[in-house]
Structure formats: structure tokens, C-alpha cells
Structure 1
Amino acid sequence: MSAPIFRDPVEDGAADPVVVRREGSDEWWMFYTDRRAGAAGPKFTWIHGSPIGVAMSLDGGASWHYRGTVAGLDDPADEPGGNTHWAPEVIYAEGQYHMFLSYITGVPDDWRGVPRTITHFVSKDLANWQRVGPIRLSSQRVIDACVFRCPDGLWRMWYKDENAGSSTWAASSKDLFNWQVEGRVLAGSPYGDPHEGPNVFALGGYYWLIVDEWHGQGVFRSDDTRLWRRQGIIGNEPGQHEADRKFVRHADVVAFRDHAAMFYFTHPDWDERSQADGPPDVAARRTAIHQARLTVVDGVLVMDRDVPEGVGLLG
């Protein structure tokens, strides 16, 4: 019935989820932007100043339990605890975990003109993180990293460049530490549709790229992760549950052999079709995390939004 699988018990603003299994265990960890739905301050203060929240599942994703926020992510040169953390990407590779975090110094009340970087961290246990540092990419206003090992043997990062019309760009690396910008992958404004939150995965014999277009997820297909062709949009139609009738936003995908679990967030109480300037009050700012099931049918990515409550990733 597409019921929420998790809501942050402190701020009630869980967004931008990423899910990863802890190696050698049955633990699944969810990292997310911990938006401060009830924060005071003008304009978009509530979106900023966010830590990264963590939830854990011990039953294959059937239930999730809050385990706090991630410490140690601030730049030592910045004010401790007074900065903004968005949209973590977390993967396991080369014997350790890697986090690629959208990082903003301070707590701005607007997003226009504010610098943001994608910063790299490493960890042995998912709980304690060591800062590697910011990655030099196509501009000083980049967010929403997705990292995937591609068939050419390179690691590739897709991300949103806000200085380039909110378009998707790519960079590649042999070792996850040294990156080379490859260029724009999907056009943004004024040459295409602005978007954010790219996510890449393999399923059903193809590679897939989804992006948050703020009225659902744009879907692109590829044979090689280099050339992408648009398929259409998913997550633009409401789910059955009363808390899942809004647009699917900023999603992460965990792929298995014959299906994938897609994690996304919604604003259950925001009338997003008529209030395009953003949530007008605290209730509308609150968010919920949901899980959907993806399959490939005749070369088309199909989303089943109405996953029964209590079904885990493998279900």
C-alpha cells in the first residue's frame, strides 16, 4: 500500500535517502538529509543546517530504526555543527566505505549564489568517517553525487551542476580519489528540463539513470553508461496510501538480479501542484521515506509504487 517505511523521529524531515548493506552482516543502513522541518528563520533556513541522519534495518528492510546523526562531517575550518549536509552517496569499494556528501558552509537562508561542494569521506564501519576533502568538479555549485562502477572499468560520478542550469554532469576516476570531469550528460535550463538527484544502476540487461524533475523521476536507458536515451517518467502518479499521493522525489536504487528496491521521499502534506514556491508551513515541510519495486519489462523500466507494508528489499 506504499505506506512510509521511515520518518525521522526528531526533525521529521528525512529526505534524499541512500541505502547500503554493511559488509559481512545482515544490517542495512539508510543515510539521509535530515531537514529541519520545524526550524525558525527566514525563507529557506529550514532546508539548511541539516545533519545526515541514519536508520538501520536488521530484517532486510522490512522495518527501520533511527540511530542518530553522523558526527565528524564538518570542515575543521568551519563552525562546528553550524553547516549544511545534503544528499549523501554511500558505497562500499576497495575494502572500505566511501561517502560523497553535498556540503555547504554555514546555514544560508537562500540557495541562490551559495557555493556548495561534493566532499569525499571514507569509513571502515559506516559509523566513523574520515574526511578526504572536496572534489574539484565543473563549478563551485555542485550537489547530489551518484557513484557507479562502469563497464569500461572506471568509476563514474554523476552530479547536479547548479551553475549550468541544473544539469547533470559526469566525472570519472580509476581509484575514487582522483577525478576528471567528462562533461555534461543531461541538459538543464534553458536547453532542457532542469533536474537533480541523478542515480545510476544496472537492471534487466541495461543501465538506467533516473533524475528528480520535481514532478516525478525522469528515466534514461543506456547500453554503456555513456550515451543515454530518455524513456519517460515514473513516480508522477499517486500511490494508494494517503501518505504516498505526492510526487516521488530524490530516489536511490538498490538493484538485485531480477528487481530493484527504490527508496524515495515525499511531502505527504504539501499541495505541490498549486504551491510551486515551496512548502508554506511546517506541516508541508515534513517528509516520509517510501520504498517501491522496479522491474524491466520488454526493455522498459516499470515502477510498482504500491509495495505492501513490511516487504523488505528482497521481497
Structure 2
Amino acid sequence: MAQKTPVRPTKQPAPKPLFSDPVYDGAADPVIIWNKQRQKWWMFYTNRRATDTTATGVTWVHGTRIGIAESADGGTTWSYRDTANINYRPDRGYTHWAPDVVEANGQYHMFLTYVPGTFTDWQHPRVIVQLRSTDLLNWQYVQTLPLITDKVIDASVHRLPDGTWRLWYNNERDHKSIYYADSPDLQHWTDRGQALNERGEGPKVFRWHEQYWMIIDQWKGMAVYHSPDLLHWAAQPERLLELPGQGRDDQAIGGHCDVVVNNGRAYVFYFTHPGRSKANPAPANSIAAKRSVIQVATLEFKDGKLTCDRDKPTYVQLLKPKDR
């Protein structure tokens, strides 16, 4: 029987950085979900090999497995747990990137970017595969999604008001714009084409303050869009996490985030490359320039816009989700 430990929210602010991967020091692309079996919050993340001194080209971001961190205090502190046991690895040097995870009908579904090898450049196909699990640790392959092209990354899945599902992703062959696909049942998917004619990756879609939001990583901070219907998106002028913070390892732009809306509050979990600050950049291709860490900040809503101050203390108090 799985160990169950009650979540103990803390009154201490989240540390900076929130989490550093102890294996390769390359944590990126976080996604947060409640683990019912362990009664704790889990974080899945891309586990880049930042400290691999033998890596050439961009092989250090390939050949990766998905890391897992765990929080027993409502998301304030995190400890390394394991790598996800994903049974889909048909190619030598396989690469797992940027998962999104949702729960439905008593099972967890992961939508994972899969790259068929370890490559020195970016000129190779990647697909989004769907996996299924009952415990969040062991994952079985379900299908490769029938999307519009063979070079897609960064799934974000959200349940629509009518109970159906929508998945957004980055189409790298169409100027890295955002596309989407629909499913009535998390099994059958139909690609609907372009959702947003903007360059960016790592879309994250969520509902807060009576409207839908999409945040995308534009490599100069994260662009914010809002929508009444998940089809028509309007941009807000200001990007999030563009200006450097003052905290430890937080002086660079924020990238590829997850947003958790919980008990009326919203938290943005993002990653930074600490060695890529404009004020004091590390040498190109150095370990310092490659390493990445996970940070967290509180989202704020005012005058119809989202903002966040990464230098304000962030008191993360994620409560156990209500059963649906």
C-alpha cells in the first residue's frame, strides 16, 4: 500500500531557487499535479544534462528522461524523487521532453514530447505521445497523436466546459506558432490547425477570474493572452517574468511555465538559466550557461491583466484538490 502523508502547509516563503535537479542540474519545463496515492504534490520536469561535459552541440538537451520532485508541505519545498518510468523508448538515445499531465476517470494521462534519438542540432522530428498511469510513476504508451506535422513539441491539455478536451502545442514547422487539437474522450484526436499566430513555445492554458488564459514562452519573457471561449485570443501588452529578479538564480528571464490555480490563488512555476543573465552572462556552452532551475511566483490579477512580482515572497499553500 502506498504511503500516505498529510500535506502540511508552511508559513515560510518558497526558497530561491525552488528546486534544482541533483543529477544533471538542468531542471526545466515543470508541470505540477496532486498524487492521490502518496497524498503529496508531484512535479514533472525536463531533465536536461547541463553538467555533462562530454556533450557536443545540443546533445545535452537530448537523451533525457523526465525527472520527478515531490512536496509534502503544499508546494513550498521540493525534494528529488525519481525519474518517470516511461515504457516508450523505441529509439537508441531516446529523448523525453516537456510533459503535461491531467487526471480523468481514475487515471493519469501524460502528453509527452518524444524525440527519436540524441542529436547535435535541432533538425530532427519530434512527436507528442500519450501515456497512461495509475500511480504517476509507471507509464504505458497509448498512442502517438495524429497532429498536423512531424515536428511538434510542448503539449498543454485543458478540459472544456462540455467535458471534451483540447490540446495546444507548438508547431515548429509553422514559424513555431501555436496549434491545437480536440478530443471528445482523451482517445480520439482531431487536429484543428492554428490557434495563435505568434512565435512561442510551452503554451499553458488555464481558467482564472472568469476567463481563460494562455501563457507562451517567447524567450524574452512570457506573453499572456486571454479568451472568453478558448478560441479567440487577445494579447495583453505586458509580458511576465521579462525583467530580472534579485533572488538567487532568478536574474534571468523566466521560461516555459506551469500555472496552478488552487483555493482562489494562482502560482506560476517557471525555469531560469541563472548563467544567462544580461548583467553577468556566463561563457557560452559552459556548465554555468546551461544549468537551469525551477522558480515560483504568485500571479496577480488587476485591471483585467495578469502580473507577477518575482521578488515578492511567495507563500505557496496548495491544498488537496477536491475529488470530481
Common topology (TM > 0.5): yes
Is the aligned partner of 1:206 residue 2:211?
A: yes
Is the aligned partner of 1:218 residue 2:223?
A: yes
Contact 1:84 1:104 in 2 (8 A): yes
Return closer, same or farther for 1:71/1:28 CA change in 2, 3 Å cut-off: same
The amino acid of 1:254's aligned partner reads V
For the residues of structure 2 that align with 1:286 and 1:269, how far apart are their CA atoms? Answer: 7
For the residues of structure 1 that align with 2:306 and 2:117, how far apart are their CA atoms? Answer: 39
TM-score by length of 2: 0.89
For the residues of structure 2 that align with 1:310 and 1:293, how far apart are their CA atoms? Answer: 8
Cα RMSD after superposing both structures = 2.0
Deviation for aligned residue 1:128: 1.1
Q: What secondary structure sits across from 1:164 in the alignment?
A: coil
Deviation for aligned residue 1:71: 2.1
Contact 2:114 2:128 in 1 (8 A): yes
For the residues of structure 1 that align with 2:262 and 2:58, how far apart are their CA atoms? Answer: 38
Is the aligned partner of 1:110 residue 2:121?
A: yes
Is the aligned partner of 1:6 residue 2:19?
A: yes
Equivalent runs, 1:183-262 vs 2, <5 Å: 183-188=193-198, 194-232=199-237, 233-262=239-268
Show CA shifts across 1:283-313 (max 9, x none). Answer: 1101110011113223211213235266444
Indicate which of 31, 41, 44 corresponds to 1:28.
Answer: 41
Return closer, same or farther for 1:309/1:279 CA change in 2, 3 Å cut-off: farther
Q: What secondary structure sits across from 1:263 in the alignment?
A: strand
TM-score by length of 1: 0.91
For the residues of structure 2 that align with 1:12 and 1:3, how far apart are their CA atoms? Answer: 15
Q: What secondary structure sits across from 1:133 in the alignment?
A: strand
Deviation for aligned residue 1:15: 0.4
Equivalent runs, 1:1-315 vs 2, <5 Å: 3-23=16-36, 26-39=39-52, 40-75=54-89, 77-79=90-92, 82-112=93-123, 114-188=124-198, 194-232=199-237, 233-271=239-277, 279-308=284-313, 311-313=316-318
For the residues of structure 1 that align with 2:279 and 2:219, how far apart are their CA atoms? Answer: 10
Structure 1: stretches of 5+ with no match in the other structure: 189-193
Contact 1:3 1:309 in 2 (8 A): no
The amino acid of 1:202's aligned partner reads R
Q: What secondary structure sits across from 2:173 in the alignment?
A: helix
User: Alignment length, in residue pairs?
Assistant: 304
Q: Which runs of 4+ in 1 moved over 4 A?
A: 272-275
Return closer, same or farther for 1:43/1:261 CA change in 2, 3 Å cut-off: same
Deviation for aligned residue 1:12: 0.1
Deviation for aligned residue 1:240: 2.4
Show CA shifts across 1:183-239 (max 9, x none). Answer: 101114xxxxx2100000011111000000001110000111111000131110122
For the residues of structure 1 that align with 2:51 and 2:278, how far apart are their CA atoms? Answer: 18
Of the structure 1 ranges 266-275 and 165-174, higher mean CA displacement relative to structure 2 is found in 266-275
Contact 2:88 2:140 in 1 (8 A): no
Return closer, same or farther for 1:273/1:217 CA change in 2, 3 Å cut-off: farther
Return closer, same or farther for 1:257/1:62 CA change in 2, 3 Å cut-off: closer
Show CA shifts across 1:117-175 (max 9, x none). Answer: 00000000111111112111010000000000122432000000001110000100011
Return closer, same or farther for 1:272/1:86 CA change in 2, 3 Å cut-off: farther
Q: What secondary structure sits across from 1:61 in the alignment?
A: coil
Contact 2:244 2:277 in 1 (8 A): no
For the residues of structure 2 that align with 1:240 and 1:270, how far apart are their CA atoms? Answer: 14
Residue of structure 2 equivalent to 1:191: none
Contact 1:203 1:296 in 2 (8 A): no
Deviation for aligned residue 1:34: 0.2
Q: Percent same amino acid among aligned pairs? A: 45
Contact 1:14 1:265 in 2 (8 A): yes
Contact 2:259 2:269 in 1 (8 A): yes
